[in-house]
Amino acid sequence: MNTGGNSLPSQSCPDGAKRRVCYYYDRSIAGVDYGEDHVMVPRHVDMAHALIRSYGLLGDMARLRTRPATDAEISGFHDARYVRLLRDLTPEGFGAGGEVARRARGCNVGAVSTDGRSVDNPPVAGLWDYCQRYAGGSLAAARALASGEADVAINWSGGMHHACLDKASGFCYVNDIVLAIDELLGHFRRVLYVHIDVHHGDGVETAFRRFRRSNRVMTVSFHQRTEGFFPERRGLLEHVGEGAGRLRAVNVAIKKGMDDDGYCRLFEPIMSEVMAVFQPEAIVMQCGADSLSGDRLGHQNLSIAGHARCVRFMRSFNMPLLLLGGGGYTVNHVAACWCYETTVAIGKEIGDDIPTHSYDGYYRRQGYKLFYPVDKKI
């Protein structure tokens, strides 16, 4: 396999060979419902898992089984009052109005968007359980890397990069990425965060720029920057961190319609330089699939192979690698992407023909193929 990248020596296996991979999946997350018209559909994680299982990949990974994250673990980053709100909030309590609804809206949960037509962060049923489960998966994955049990750890239900210290943002309530990085910092001197979601990784960058002020974490975000695109006024080239974290943030603005070649001509040399200068000991990579062609919110033109090329490049450096999900709003594209990137993590090739499984009807329009054609009109 051609892995690309500037590979560093690995004690566990040579570059290009199979890695020891651990994998987290919790079927309860598939039942979380943001609302009938909401673009965020956590079921895409279940769809990815169904593809991974149907391709016979589960036998190539160790299954991570873990408890949900505790209040104390989540409070390791998030404000305690905000944690209590998430723990106690129900749709019924929010609907009754009063103090609970006021507190929720103050934390950007249930607040109507500026267009007056949608609620980005609804008070969904089972909200706290959902947050505990996806955050618990990312913490367990980080611990598996820190202990040396795995070379690569995967939690496709994680990657909630917009969540802030004391409020929800961008469909994200608890920032599992910050929790996982903090866990890794207990075992590694420097941790690199790499972000290929179409929306800027603002919650993670802000956490380590403003609250952690750490020179042990570098955040690198490749994201779309166009007028009116969320989050506005974030992710500018001049945003490089401050205080102890100065020069520990790198922001790469991507134009609309960027294709595989253009994206990777930016990604690979930038990440090669980051790796050489920062010299991390562990990597956390947010693999938001809304940068794929045909996404309902994003306007980039990456193919699944192009998106996965970035994962393959970071894998080639042969150091502990945590892969997380995140955005992605065309569910069949998201599932196909994360299934293929699971094979990249393992070091295994699979066929393009999607096996028969419970969700295969979602792939009819792409001819039951894993790799769908990009939209050349973007």
> Per the annotation, where are the binding residues for substrate?
120, 170, 329
Binding residues: 120, 170, 197, 199, 290, 329
Q: How far, in Å, CA of 293 to CA of 373, rounded?
A: 8
> What does the DSSP 8-state code read for residue 209?
I
CB 324, CB 215: distance < 8 Å:
no
Residues 6+ apart with CB under 8 A from 71: 83, 87
Whether 163 and 174 have beta carbons less than 8 Å apart is answered as yes
Residue 355 token pair: 């096996």
Q: Is 256 exposed, middle or buried (0-12, 13-18, 19+ CB in 10 A)?
A: middle
Cβ partners under 8 Å of residue 262, min gap 6: none
Output the known binding site for a divalent metal cation: 197, 199, 290
CA-nearest of 267, 281, 270 to 196 is 267
Cβ contacts of residue 63 below 8 Å, gap of 6+?
22, 23, 24, 25
Does residue 48 contact residue 339 with C-beta atoms inside 8 Å?
yes
Q: How many residues are there in the chain? A: 378
- Catalytic positions are 162
Q: What are the residues facing 112 on neighbouring strands?
A: 119
Torsion sign, CA atoms 204, 287, 319, 236: negative
